[in-house]
Amino acid sequence: MSNPKPQGIYDITIIGAGIVGSAIARELAKYKLKILLFEKASDFASGVTKANSGVIHAGFNNKPGSLKAKFCVDGNRLFPQLCSELNVPMNYIGKLVVAKSDAEIKGLNTLYDRGKNNKVPKLKMIYGSKRISKLEPNIKAKAALYSGTSGILEPWQLNIALGENAYQNGVDIKLNTEVIDILQKRDHFQVKTPKRSFKSRWVINAAGLGCVRIARMVGIRKHRIHPCRGEYLILDKSCSSLITRLIYPSPSHEFGLLGVHLTPTLEGVVLIGPSSEFINESTDTGNTREVMDRLLAEANDKFNGKTPKINRKAVITSYSGIRPKLVSSGDEWSDFIIQEEPKVPGFINLIGIESPGLTAAPAIAEYVVEIIQESEKLKSNPKFDPYYQGFARFDDRTHSEQSNLIEADSDHGKMVCRCEFVTRAEVLSALDNPLEVKTLHGIKYRTRATMGRCQGGFCGPKLVEILEKDHDLHFKDITLKGGDSKLFVRRTKSEK
């Protein structure tokens, strides 16, 4: 299902429904515009956004005067209101960047000075292992930089909320639709997809890892992206008490890389990672035993001798993501590029949007609106509704509220995912999403089903049964994430 197709020409077309593209779509929905959002995958948050740490950065790691620094700090301030409107949980849990030697303390001082130049609030240096252990009893360090405005959330949840709220406010969204060419006409662009072409006065390139490919469609060939793969480990919830804040190492000598860090999550698991490996293929999201061992070793090195070492049994799964690092010849990776191209009026390029892209997204969206307003006066949309119902989790409710829900609908009392306590009613609600995403990943990122200790061993068959019986999907049409990711070829037993 999609919104009714507007007649004639679109005002603005956005390519890419990751966190940045979806934030831009929602921000532009505040104005009287015909907006089209393309995503080549089957759902929001299917690329760079899906596979990151979910950290709301404070802005002390970025070079003063850079767009990364500006939009990270500005975006951080926007999160409380944004997440409140979209009903997305977040928490400013704070961060400790730890140093184990005098040389590493110098790195902390550099970060502290950068943070002050970037006007990052709630920063302070902490010296002495005893003071640090009072904050984090399991961590060993000689000094630490404390950041009070660093936080966490689930990035895919925010991405979905932004996209679906944009849709609710009239943005036309086309999933499973890849842009294959863009032709520049006298007063508009012709955006081609495999099935048809669309006319648009403005085009915004928010394609993440595909940003260079899209830019080349309008003749811009000067940019080069170097894919950087980061692998992560997810620890069982039994490890949730290891840390209460984000734990980062002192900056690496390898410029632009934050090093392996420990990230507590809202759901109780702990992330270890990412690694950093520059690769040739932007689709290579594999995981390796070698990197797993190194991640565990680096994580254990941050703990004091009183803490039992984390072993492989504590790891419930691993994953990896790709960051689009913009190649530079200087001593740091290039800054974000966000501009209307002078030689291609009406084409706004967003190139190299990597970390802190998640944090920067709402501020980037406002900046893109400012770019458009330099060329034309935008009229406010009085019907814009900033609020999104979201996905209220059964497990977060009080016992009384749970009892009332079960009494009203028995599906609330039927547990589908034991690890994450996801009910049948929650799965059905997730499948009732406005874009009609009916994949296992669609359910996963809307409910957390399959994300627990057993990784879908218990709930996977139940989800397939719901897709078959409640949504009339033939088993051969059930996919992991759309496209060719089919789960079944044939039945092993005859159908009855």
Q: Which residues are the active-site residues?
A: 57
- Tell me the β-bridge partners of 184: 189
Q: State the Cα angle at 362 between 67 and 262, rounded to 5°.
A: 80
Strand, helix or coil at 311?
Answer: coil
What distances in angstroms separate CA 193 from CA 8, 39, 174, 182, 458, one per listed residue?
A: 17, 11, 11, 9, 39
The full 3-state SS of 68-104, as one line of letters, equals HHHHHHHHHHHHHHHHHHHCCCEECCCEEEEECCHHH
Q: 43: which DSSP letter?
A: S
Instruction: Give Cβ neighbours of residue 395 (< 8 Å, ≥ 6 apart).
Output: 420, 421, 422
Give the closest residue to 96 by CA, choosing from 51, 129, 52: 129
Residues in the chain: 496
Secondary structure (3-state) at 238: helix
Nearest residue to 222 (alpha-carbon basis) of 211, 236, 238: 211
